[in-house]
């Protein structure tokens, strides 16, 4: 296939112009070789995660390209952060249809560049290919964690306290707004929620502070209840969430009204951290949160049993049709 | 999005049934956690590569699913092998449209399983998502190489000999047959070439034997001339390839006739190793090839200058319209 389409240069020129400047890590060889090399510091385990986002499934065709790029990175940064790992870099596999312009690609690369600095990550390698389908972006994030200190899903124990970072449901509310919902909302609320959907901000550094404190952790991507459900299953415990304590934004309350807590608990794409810790570690959790500038809310507890339940103010179980959102 | 389509179970069931059994490495946690952990042995560098294959671009919709899976692995194994690295495992990002059946997915997983054994690799993690577009498979392959011993593209020096493994052009010929070409060929030739396109067999282990012997190496994916061109550029040298010495199969000769060498040199997807070594190391190269059971052919030489040239039997340059195949 020769390159005769739109205004784009060929693959090699594209890589040299847009992506090579992002390969700041020495082991990426400026993208001039076939592989990347990392030399993990002694005593460090390597942490790996891959997640793809697909146009029309995880982002919308008219979402700004720089935000799409940042979302592709952040959904993966979110996983590493929640497990207590520090990200080092990423590999990018980008499948793009003919209609995508050089302007879109420049904005996309700019979005990557703007996230690399704050999170101290480098592009390590990549693959760019054409596709007859939607823009498909697969990122593999690589990081380090001190040997044996990764925070697993499976360590929650009866008696532990269940916490979440940030606000829950904003991204799901933002998707609803992007799809035409929330016409009764003020413009400010609509813009805020849209931005939360397009541009998640995972508390990556806070995961490091949770090492040795949290008994279990994972990031919230499928939805608050679904992800605490994963933790409950892996840990062999029951997790009870108090609906009234789920932290909501005013905008999400305005969108969803009386159903807000339930809707937030079953929306997805929050990219906050769900974690459990023994009650004796509560002060350490809150101190770490203050030090990181991260909002942490105690929203439930771990008990003997199985599964996850959502409880109302009287302690009665709220029926939930489905626990989370699936892109599949 | 709920799962109401075709005969497929949900994402979590799919992972548990088809993919968790492939996560044989302890650090993959049986795909029950969010990240994978690797503890690189002391003195080892980590080697990383990502490559995607897209239906309709890198494979055809009616290619067998098990062969598609193997191709997705092997295009990445090929890179690690050519650089002297030993693969350890891979992360898989799989985007599949609704029409894909459970039967296709079972065959796909079976293809992965059949390659994991011989190459001693494990699934380390993955992501499965729906797509409104073609099947898109992105693999990130992870491996180890003794610190500092990765074979770069950039080490070729004037005086070096240029070598290739295997036969060149079979995959390109197979693609032509798959697209309806070669109707004059015997059925046996057509089947052989088709299989070469669908099912590359990179000489992964041979790269290890080239450590400390080859001055530069890379795998042939864009095409023999294009990839030697990458080596020439990275090394700051000129590489001369003798058209008459390019190793061709009888089937490729039957398809392409008098043009066979030129067509083979500019086809892609060979997944063989192109490498350079000082003439004093020639015997070591050939001994290593015999030990590995890999065919190695001396096809040219490295000179002072720039770029890659294809020469006829009289030493005159053969004009080449384009050096390689690009999927972009």
Residue pLDDT, tens place only, B89-137: 999 999 999 999 999 999 999 999 999 999 999 999 999 999 999 999 9
Q: Say how many Å lie between the first and final Cα of chain B, rounded.
A: 31
B5 pLDDT band (50/70/90 cuts)? Answer: very low
Q: Do A85 and B35 touch (CB under 8 A)?
A: yes
pLDDT of residue A325: 55
- Chains A, B: CB pairs < 8 Å: 230
pLDDT of residue B279: 98
- The list of chain A residues with pLDDT below 70 reads 1-6, 323-328
Q: Do B152 and A126 touch (CB under 8 A)?
A: no
Indicate if the pLDDT at residue B1 is higher than 60: no
- In which element (H, E) is residue A121 found? none
* 3-state secondary structure at position B141: strand
A43: CB partners within 8 A, 6+ apart: A146, A147
Separation between Cα atoms, residue B253 and residue B243, nearest integer Å? 13
Contact of A253 with A184, CB cutoff 8 Å: no
Which residues, in sequence order, are bridge partners of residue A51? A139
B4 pLDDT band (50/70/90 cuts)? Answer: very low
Angle at A152 between CA A146 and CA A154, to 5 degrees: 150
Q: Is B312 left (phi over 0), alpha (psi -120 to 50) or beta?
A: beta
Separation between Cα atoms, residue A135 and residue A110, nearest integer Å? 17
Contact of A305 with A239, CB cutoff 8 Å: no
Indicate if the pLDDT at residue B3 is higher than 50: no
Tokens matching residue A124: 């390590």
Separation between Cα atoms, residue A60 and residue A55, nearest integer Å? 6
pLDDT of residue B323: 61
pTM: 0.92
Separation between Cα atoms, residue A108 and residue A97, nearest integer Å? 14
pLDDT tens digits, one per residue of B150-196? 999 999 999 999 999 999 999 999 999 999 999 999 999 999 999 99
For residues B27-54, give the mean pLDDT: 94
Which ipTM was obtained for this model? 0.89
B185: CB partners within 8 A, 6+ apart: B177, B193, B251, B254, B255
Please tell me which residue, B5 or B309, carries the higher pLDDT value.
B309
pLDDT of residue B325: 55
pLDDT tens digits, one per residue of B205-261? 999 999 999 999 999 999 999 999 999 999 999 999 999 999 999 999 999 999 999
Which of B48, B83, B322 faces A142 most closely, judged by CB atoms? B48
* 3-state secondary structure at position B277: strand
Q: Do A127 and B56 touch (CB under 8 A)?
A: no
Tokens matching residue A210: 């949770």
Minimum CA–CA partner of B233 in chain A: A32
Angle at B170 between CA B165 and CA B171, to 5 degrees: 100
Which of A2, A40, A79 faces B46 most closely, judged by CB atoms? A40
B14 pLDDT band (50/70/90 cuts)? Answer: confident
Query: Which residues of B fall within a CB distance of 8 Å from A218?
Result: 33-34
Indicate if the pLDDT at residue B2 is higher than 50: no
For residues B42-62, give the mean pLDDT: 95
Query: Which residues of B fall within a CB distance of 8 Å from A133?
Result: 54, 131-134, 136
Minimum CA–CA partner of A5 in chain B: B328
Determine the length of chain B. Answer: 328
Query: Which residues of A fall within a CB distance of 8 Å from B48?
Result: 35-38, 91, 124-125, 140, 142
pLDDT of residue B177: 96
pLDDT tens digits, one per residue of A24-54? 999 999 999 999 999 989 999 999 999 999 9
């Amino acid at each position: 296939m020769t390159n005769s389409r739109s205004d784009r240069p060929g693959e090699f020129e594209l890589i040299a112009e847009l992506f090579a400047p992002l390969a700041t890590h020495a082991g990426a060889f400026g993208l001039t070789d076939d592989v990347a090399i990392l030399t993990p510091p002694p005593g460090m385990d390597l942490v790996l995660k891959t997640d793809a986002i697909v146009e029309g499934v995880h982002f919308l065709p008219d979402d700004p390209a720089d935000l799409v790029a940042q979302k592709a990175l952040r959904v993966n940064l979110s996983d590493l952060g929640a497990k207590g790992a520090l990200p080092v870099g990423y590999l990018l596999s980008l499948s793009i249809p003919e209609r995508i312009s050089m302007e879109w690609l420049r904005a996309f690369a700019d979005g990557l560049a703007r996230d690399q600095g704050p999170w101290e990550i480098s592009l390590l390698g990549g693959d760019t290919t054409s596709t007859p389908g939607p823009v498909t972006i697969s990122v593999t994030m690589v990081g380090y964690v001190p040997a044996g200190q990764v925070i697993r899903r499976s360590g929650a124990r009866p008696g532990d306290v269940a916490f979440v970072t940030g606000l829950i449901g904003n991204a799901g509310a933002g998707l609803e707004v992007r799809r035409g919902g929330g016409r009764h909302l003020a413009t400010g609320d609509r813009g805020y929620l849209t931005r939360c959907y397009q541009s998640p901000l995972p508390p990556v550094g806070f995961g490091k502070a949770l090492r040795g404190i949290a008994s279990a952790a994972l990031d919230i991507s499928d939805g608050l209840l679904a992800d605490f459900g994963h933790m409950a299953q892996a840990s062999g415990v029951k997790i009870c969430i108090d609906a009234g304590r789920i932290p909501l934004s005013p905008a999400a309350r305005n969108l969803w009204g009386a159903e807000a807590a339930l809707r937030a608990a079953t929306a997805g794409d929050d990219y906050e951290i769900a974690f459990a810790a023994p009650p004796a570690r509560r002060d350490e959790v809150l101190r770490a949160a203050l030090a990181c500038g991260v909002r942490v809310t105690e929203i439930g507890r771990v008990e003997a049993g199985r599964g996850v339940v959502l409880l109302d103010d009287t302690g009665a179980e709220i029926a939930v049709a489905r626990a989370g959102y699936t892109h599949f």
